[in-house]
Structure formats: structure tokens, C-alpha cells
Amino acid sequence: MTVINQQPDVVRDIERVDADTVKDASRFAASILADVAGRRGTLCSRIAPLSPGMRIAGPAITVEVRPGDNLMIHAAMAIAKPGDVLVIDGKGDETCALMGEIMVSQCKAIGLAGIVIHGSVRDTEAIREIGFPVYAVGANPNGPTKLIPGRVNWPISVGGTAVNPGDLIVGDADGVVVVEKEKAASLLGAAAQKVVDETKRIAGIRSGEQLRPTWLDGALRKAGVLKEGETL
């Protein structure tokens, strides 16, 4: 009989995006990283920071829970390391909160970098006062159960985007972007160049020297809106 070595529901050891890449990536807006990553990898806009000034950058600890139950979030917190970001597939459920002031306080004390929940939280005023970055779909005063098993550090889907353990998570006022850990470092040069290009473009607009994109006519010709040689 063949014995199959099944991966445990809680995977303790994962490969994380390296700390230097996280530090460098934290300098960029989520929008910049999403653009250079192929205009993909962003979570749905319902997952938003509790306060616009909240920022996140770090490797993902992925958590899958049944709607309304936070048992596996506690398990993830028990094995997470400083700098990690909890990314929780709560199935978008809004019938109760999966986390509140107590758990967020614990995450801050552990030294985690932030929390992203496809679900609801509570104690939002207290969390804002704590100043710990939390992204969620909303708030609900109802508490969760702690009864149902799930998984930690398995691939999950959050807000329409695949997230693997150790992936780079960057969040700001616009939302959250996920970059595969294997390609994150390779995008930093392109991100830096995009910042330079966009800064130059904005300066041109403000000075009145470049009031429309240089690529516009070419794109319109390619789309068949303008004839060859024709301009706006």
C-alpha cells in the first residue's frame, strides 16, 4: 500500500519574500507595483484600510477560515513572525467580525506588519487608536465562533486574487496588491523608473508643456480611431 505524505493543515515553515525586497517595495505606492506587475494582483476595492493613512508591506501568512469562525487566525498568530502580514480568506462574510481590539493588540505586540481580511472586524475606533494597519470589507459588532478547522499557509483566494504563503503584500490608501515572492525583487527597478516617468509627466502637466500624453495619437491609430498620419 502506498503511503501519501499529506501536508498538515497548519504549515509552520514557509519561504518568505526576503526582507530587503520588502523594505525596498515599501517605498512604492501599491498602484506603481500593480502597474509594473502587469496591472494585476490587486484585491477587490471592498477590502480597504480602516484609516487612509495605514500602510502595509510584508510577506503573507495565509489563512483560510470558514465564514464567521476565527479559530485558524489564532493558529496563524501563534506561528507568525515579526514583519509578517496576516492575509485572511474570510469568504467576504459580513455577518460577524473575525478580529477586534484584543487580537489586533496581540498582532501589534508580536511585531506583525498588518492584517488583510476578506471579512469584517470590530472595535474599529480602538484599532484606529492603536494605529495598527488593518484592511477589511467592513465592521460588525457581532463576535465569531472558534470551533471550525481551516488552514494556515496554504494557497488562498482573497478578493479575486490568488495569494500564496510568503508573497509580497503592499497596501496603502488605494488598497492592496499581491506580488509573487519569486518575481517581487525583479520588479523594483521597473517601479523606480515608473516613479521617475510619472513625476516627469505630472511636472509637464503642471507647467503646461505637456497637456496630453505623447502616446495618445499612436494608440488611437492602432485602435483604428485615427487614420495613418492623422492626429487629433
Q: Annotated binding site for substrate, which residues?
A: 100-103, 122-123
Element (H, E) at 56: strand 56-64
Q: What's phi and psi for 34, nearest 5 deg?
A: -65, -40
Q: How far is 93 from 144, CA to CA, in rounded Å?
A: 11
Closest CA to 99 of 64, 154, 136: 136
Query: 18: how many CB neighbours lie within 10 A of its CB?
Result: 15
Binding-site residues sit at 100-103, 122-123
Q: How far is 223 from 206, CA to CA, in rounded Å?
A: 29
